[in-house]
Amino acid sequence: MTPTADTAPLCLLADIPDGNAVETEAVIQGEVESLLIYRSGEEARAYLNVCPHAGRRLDYAPGKFLVRNGTIICAAHGATFTAESGDCTNGPCREDRLRAVPVSVVDGEVRLA
């Protein structure tokens, strides 16, 4: 079952290496969407797994992301995004941003907020 705001957690925070990201799916506004979940310490941030430049997925292989020093890198065109805010800092979609999905960490579980 794909998680919704009132069902199962998206993932466990412990399953995400600190400073890295994993992919999961969730129902967002009635649609099943691929999400990138980024961990920073005891916090998590989520974004749709879509680059605003051309609408392609950010991962270079299913669930595998290029994340370095707090920067998410689009595998298709090399656009870079600040993991903390989703802002594009370099590349073809500069001054655009990833679409954030509100999440919270409750008892070690990452859940839709």
**For the chain, domain boundaries:** 11-112
Instruction: HSE, CB side, 13 Å, CA atoms: give it for residue 103.
Output: 33
Cα 32 to its chain centre, rounded Å, is 14
Architecture of the domain delimited by 11-112: 3-layer Sandwich (2.102)
Is the confidence at residue 100, as pLDDT, over 70? Answer: yes
Rounded to two decimals, the pTM is: 0.92
Please enumerate in sequence order all residues whose Cβ is within 8 A of that of 84, keeping only pairs 6 or more positions apart, or say none: 40, 45, 70
Kindly state the percentage of the chain with pLDDT values over 70: 95
Parallel/antiparallel/unpaired status of strands 80-82 and 88-90? antiparallel
Mean pLDDT over 49-60 rounds to 92
**Looking at the predicted structure, is the pLDDT value of residue 80 above 90?**
yes
| Contact between residue 45 and residue 37 where contact means Cβ atoms under 8 Å apart | yes
